[in-house]
Amino acid sequence: MLPPYANEPYPDFTQPGPAAAMRTALDLVASQADRYYPLIIGGERITTDAAIVSANPVAPDRIVGRTGSATPELADRAVRCAAATYEEWRAVAPVVRARIILKAAAILRRRIYEFSAWLVVEVSKSWIEAYADAAEAVDFLELYAREMMRLAAPLPSTPSPGEENEVRYVPLGVGVVISPWNFPLAIMAGMTAAAAAAGNTVVVKPASQAPIVAAKFMEVLEEAGLPAGVVNYVPGPGSSVGDVLVDHPLTRFISFTGSREVGVRIHERAAKVHPCQKWLKRTILEMGGKDAIIVDETADIDAAAAGAVASAFGYQGQKCSACSRLIVVDEVHDALMERVLALAPRLTMGDPACAGIDLGAVVDPGAVRKIHEYIEIGRQEGDLVYQSGVPEGDGQFVPVTIIDNVAPDARIAQEEIFGPVLAVIRARDFDHALEIANGTDYGLTGALFSGIRARLERARADFHVGNLYLNRKCTGALVDVQPFGGFNMSGTDSKAGGRDYLQLFMQGKSVAEKL
Ligand code: NAP
């Protein structure tokens, strides 16, 4: 019998055991630098002329690894292979599919420090952020395997005399999984495992900045006994293979996490019915955010400041859930800012391979440019009240930046920056603060710090976000504790890590037999 689902615990890296394990894992990963990882289609390894080069953001001349780069022809081949494999995989008993995913979770858990180390070098996560990403991947696999076992049973339905009736979930078909670089293990593994556990076959196109972690995850799936062709590894430029995968008439659904721009494009293209396509495609889209923390005049100011700094700058602000707007009721503005400005300079920035570093580099030179552009825009739109230094060298570091007195409709208060830049917005009172918080196109996460019960209740009802936090930070959702996903332009309202997630990858079938 399976133990009940529980979240993977985090280690304490100040203790010698976990710290030593992490250092050993970083050595292992360094010893595997600059290896080549081919595409995997139907179990076949395919090398390509072009390669995707994954570099360490803190030292771009340190090559983490290289992968093949899919052409449109190879993307087409991967979808066809997934379609052929689907006919066998959908017939595998749900409990057997679930056991393979559970086995993958066990392997991932055994290699969790190694995967954390890959995340440190490939996308510049601090030790704890990297471990949290890897632990979340284990959690997704553990939860979705259990959910598949639960959903394998017929659904309750009302008996009808003279008939035997049955309602069951069946899989959809071929899914395209398109993942982002910021949680390149957890999100990629979660979308892939949910789809495969539900009986679908998948083409995985990882983000081009982080394809190595995904290649390592393929090792886990193979070792777990997942048949060839169920999950196909197809790194490649989204700009050239994305449309091929999305438009393909054999694609049944697209599971995407990434920017609003790409998500909207996928949504539009998936709506078109192509020749030989027999279904309306389903899209499961998780997109960006412009997340706010509200602090009112009754809040615990120390807790609010700590929550804001952690949410705004953790992982260099590169979380969809990151706080990018701090909305403060006038009365406590100065007191709150005094504490925020005392905490922000304590964050350490450097190579996160070293213990004790809080913030690493941002993902690529494009991100550096974009964040600096927004800092310049912010200087025009408000008062720059804090900017950190950055480590010397050619690492892709950007300064932690706080801009005060920003108008609610300013660009830096409306557009997703995806970097360590916090806009502080003043509000007259709580009602005004809530109006400002809801005043963007997004609706992903949000937090309210307040001591007034009526306001906490009002936020529950009217703070229009998929993940609301009261008197705590707005990042760090845990699988099956805070199922994650946003409203409005933050996505299609799905909840990753929730108990209704797997149904998104299935369809219900009702069978009635006259007795
Ligand atoms: P992105 O630029 O949209 O890329 C995401 C994925 O889409 C990548 O694999 C990318 O491939 C691919 N892609 C690019 N163009 C495509 C096209 N025309 N057709 C199909 N796929 C295409 O996003 P990102 O920079 O990786 O990730 C950051 C964004 O993700 C932020 O907006 C963040 O808020 C959001 N995010 C949301 C959640 C959530 O749960 N709501 C979670 C994490 C991140 P290439 O890399 O090859 O371009």
The pLDDT averaged over each successive group of 10 residues in the chain (515 residues) is: 96 97 98 98 98 98 98 98 98 98 98 98 98 98 98 94 96 98 98 98 98 98 98 98 98 98 98 97 98 98 98 98 98 98 98 97 98 98 98 97 98 98 98 98 98 98 98 98 98 96 98 97
Tell me which of 79, 133, 136, 178 to substitute to probe ligand 1's pocket, judged by most ligand atoms within 8 Å of the beta carbon.
Answer: 178
**Whether residue 468 sits in one domain with residue 367:** yes
Q: Is 136 contained in some domain?
A: yes
Which protein residue has the closest C-alpha to ligand 1 atom 11?
238
Residues 6+ apart with CB under 8 A from 369: none
Looking at residue 203, the DSSP 8-state letter turns out to be: E
Domain annotation covers residue 33: yes
Report the pLDDT value the prediction gives residue 72, as an integer from 0 to 100. 98
Positive or negative: CA dihedral 443, 447, 453, 454: negative
Shared domain for 121 and 82, answered yes or no, is yes
Q: What angle do the packed helices 186-197 and 94-110 form, to 10 degrees?
A: 160
152 and 94 together in one domain: yes
Residue 487 included in any domain: no
Residues 247 and 343 in one domain: no
Closest-lying ligand 1 atom to the alpha carbon of residue 269: 19
DSSP 408: T
Whether residue 145 lies inside any domain: the answer is: yes
Q: Which of 140, 254, 259 to mutate to test the pocket of ligand 1 (most atoms within 8 A of CB)?
A: 259
Q: Are strands 163-171 and 59-68 parallel, antiparallel or unpaired?
A: unpaired
User: With b meaning 16 or more CB within 10 Å and e meaning fewer, what string describes 275-295?
Assistant: eeeeeebbbbbbbbbbbbbbb
Confidence at residue 1, expressed as pLDDT on a 0 to 100 scale: 86
Strands 251-257 and 282-286: parallel
Within a domain: 12: no
Residues near 383 by beta carbon (within 8 Å), at least 6 away in sequence? 403, 404, 405
CATH number at residue 459: 3.40.309.10
Residues with CB under 6 A from ligand 1: 178-183, 187, 205, 207-208, 237-239, 242-243, 246, 257-259, 262, 265-266, 286-289, 320, 416, 418, 444, 484-486, 490-491
- Determine the residue type at 238: G
Same domain for 360 and 282:
no
| Closest residue to atom 30 of ligand 1, CA basis | 258
Q: Give domain status of residue 6, yes or no.
A: no
Q: DSSP string of 270-329?
A: HTSPPTT--SPPEEEEE----EEEEE-TTS-HHHHHHHHHHHHHGGGG-STT-EEEEEEE
- 266, two tokens: 């996928």
DSSP state at residue 156: P
Q: How far apart are CA 247 and CA 227, in angstroms?
A: 26
Residue 3 DSSP class? P
Range of the domain at 345: 291-478
* Domain co-membership, 428 together with 316: yes
Burial 201-233 (b: 16+ CB within 10 A, else e): bbbbbbbbbbbbbbbbbbebbbebebbebbbbb
Ligand 1 atom at shortest distance from the alpha carbon of 235: 47
pLDDT of residue 304: 98
**Residues 255 and 344 reside in one and the same domain:** no
- Measured from the Cβ of residue 383, the count of other Cβ atoms closer than 10 Å reads 12
Any domain includes 160: yes
Is the domain of 196 the same as that of 209?
yes
C-beta separation of 509 from 151 below 8 A = no
Q: Say how far residue 437 (Cα) sits from the centre of its chain.
A: 22
CATH number where 126 lies: 3.40.605.10
Active-site annotation holds for 286: yes
Within a domain: residue 182?
yes
- 3 state DSSP class of 124: coil
Same-domain check for residues 302 and 413? yes
Residue nearest atom 35 in ligand 1 by C-alpha distance: 258
Number of domains making up the chain? 2
Q: Whole-prediction pTM value? A: 0.98
Residues 362 and 416 in one domain: yes
Same domain? For 332 and 274 the reply is no
Instruction: Examine the domain organization and report whether 108 and 45 are in the same domain.
Output: yes
| Catalytic residue selected from 81, 114, 320, 381 | 320
Q: In ligand 1, which atom is closest to the CA atom of 491?
A: 41
Write down the pLDDT at residue 499.
Answer: 97
First to last CA, the chain: 35
Q: How far is the centre of ligand 1, averaged over its atoms, from the C-alpha of 12 (Å)?
A: 31
